[in-house]
Structure 1
Amino acid sequence: MLELVGEDIILCREEYAVNSIMIVEDDETLREEVSVLLKKTGYLVKKVEDFSNVYEQMIMGDVDLILLDITLPGESGQILLQKFRKKSDIPVIVLTSRTEDVDELVSMSYGADDFITKPYNPAILLLRISAVLKRSASASQSQNYRGIIVSSIKGSLLKEDKEQVLTKNEMLIFQHLLDHQGEIVSREDLMTVLWDNDEYVNDNALSVNISRLRNKLSDFGLENAIETRKKQGYVLR
């Protein structure tokens, strides 16, 4: 729960206890203000203060969330975000003074989990951070399948610098097969998984989705990853 008492913000520490957050902000005053706010709330904080190797610090940061400014010395926050998303699914909230719609659109298309403009309301910032962390915790950020990073958040398969984006149905099918890897999964089971989707899926559409998923796995050199068992279903090997 959140209460505002004068300038202080008091939150239940049990809810936010051990999450760590990296602040990538070149404005020292603002960086310190955000750092104090997060520490008072119970977060662990890492601050980027050397902007000659920001990307490396983001990759090696070992944090649960990153607050990323767009306007930085050297590479812009958006370019850093684009590069970072090729390697990591750690949530990123863009925190910037830019207010143009295009900045938000570009940031979200590059993989930002939220976009907050300055000046910000501290309470709103904390609530948005909490929401992103909860979404991240509720969904498995990534799994490893034969050297491929499977991101349910992004709906993609990633290996080194190569990425395959899956449709919603392809992701649902693959996730179910992955959850039951080595087991026979019937077509009926997969149809049930897809039942609540917005798009109507018939038996033929399921076959099309399986075929497309096979092709995308083949692009990673896994030509026979999904095996058909006649009159039984499919097995993810």
Structure 2
Amino acid sequence: MTLFIVEDDFELRKELITFLEKCGYDCKTSNDFTNIVKDALEAEPDLILLDINLPYFDGYHICREIRKVSDVPIIIVTSRNTDMDELMSMNLGADDFVTKPYNTQILLARINAILKRAEKVGDASDLKYNGLTVYTTKSKVSFADKSVDLTKNELRILWIFIKNQGNIVSRNDLMDELWQSDEFVDDNTLTVNVNRLRKKLEQIGAVNFIQTRRGQGYIL
């Protein structure tokens, strides 16, 4: 699989590429930070590793621009480690957030986990539930002749809910499915993703499909 690395620290980038290529990944990058969005998309990577502090445009801008046209998995890798940085990353559609300095083996595990989840959802057939149709390959959901696009995380959450329809899905189980371990995820991040999914379903008329069970989790 191909990874595209957006990192302006030459030595760090070189070390990261060497490590990931030894692990079997094909790594691509670019020094043209004025056209980094174009270069990243043209590389057609399976996943993007994206720093925040960059010349010309910061990682938030790059993530936002990529999300306008692509659902490629994005992991934010940065020395900025405040809760606000992590929340902004998730709100902009990033799939994960890793702070520097990081353990390369942990980073590798996070990359592997996200790629496996993307493959799992991407290979799934379209799902139907009570008038909803989820187009997994297009990352879209429709209801009553209306449709709306979903981010990768929103698609995964809805996919999990439908697969467990009629049963309560705990917040811990959701975080394990999405990010493997809640050790690295602020609880607010999950709330933001679920609320954003709710609003999108409401936009197409699917009101009150996701119900909160206080102290237990969610049920579809």
Alignment TM-score, normalising by the size of structure 1 = 0.57
Q: Corresponding residue for 1:55?
A: 37
Aligned to 2:177: none
% same residue: 38
Report the CA distance between 1:194 and its aligned residue.
3.3
The CA distance in 2 between the partners of 1:111 and 1:141, in whole Å, is: 21
Q: Which residue is 2:78 aligned to?
A: 96
**How far off its partner does 1:76 sit?**
0.9
Report the counterpart of residue 43 of structure 1 in structure 2: 25
Post-superposition Cα deviations, 1:20-48, rounded to whole Å, max 9, x if no partner, equal 10000011111101100011111001012
Q: Does 1:20 align with 2:2?
A: yes
**2:167 matched to which residue of 1?**
196
- The answer (yes or no) to whether the contact 1:21–1:46 under 8 Å persists in 2 is yes
Distance 1:39 1:164, change over 3 A: closer
CA drift at 1:196? 3.4
Structure 1 residues not aligned, in runs of 5+: 1-18, 177-191, 200-211, 218-237
Task: For residue 153 of structure 1, report the CA deviation from its aligned partner.
Answer: 9.5
Contact 1:89 1:141 in 2 (8 A): no
What pairs up with 1:53-92 in 2 under 5 angstroms? 53-92=35-74
Task: Find the residue that maps to 2:93 and give its secondary structure.
Answer: coil
1:37 and 1:143 map into 2 onto residues whose CA distance is 35
Q: Distance in 2 between matches of 1:128 and 1:213?
A: 29
In 2: Cα distance, 1:150 partner to 1:83 partner: 23
SS of structure 1 residue aligned to 2:122: coil
Structure 1 residues 78 and 47: CA distance shift in structure 2, 3 A: same
- Is 1:216 aligned to 2:204, yes or no? yes
Q: Give the distance between the partners of 2:115 and 2:27, measured in 1 at CA.
A: 15
Q: Secondary structure of the residue that 1:196 maps to in structure 2?
A: coil
Whole-angstrom CA distance in 2 between matches of 1:107 and 1:21: 19
Task: Return the structure number with greater helix share.
Answer: 2
Partners of 1:111 and 1:27 lie apart in 2 by 24
8 Å Cα contact 1:89/1:142 also seen in 2:
no
Cα RMSD for the two superposed structures: 3.7
Once residues 143 and 87 of structure 1 are traced to their aligned partners in structure 2, the CA distance between those partners, rounded to angstroms, is 22
Task: Report runs of 4+ in structure 1 exceeding 2 Å deviation.
Answer: 141-144, 149-157, 162-168, 192-199, 212-217
Q: Which amino acid aligns with 1:44?
A: D
Q: Give the distance between the partners of 2:50 and 2:201, measured in 1 at CA.
A: 34
Q: How far off is 1:72 after superposition?
A: 0.9
Structure 2: unaligned runs, 5 residues or longer: 127-133, 171-199, 206-220
Please, which of 91, 94, 97 is the counterpart of residue 109 of structure 1? 91
Does the CA-based 8 Å contact 2:41-2:66 persist in structure 1? yes
Equivalent AA in structure 1 for residue 165 of structure 2 = L
Is this contact kept in 1: 2:4–2:47, CA < 8 A? yes
SS at structure 1 position matched to 2:204: helix
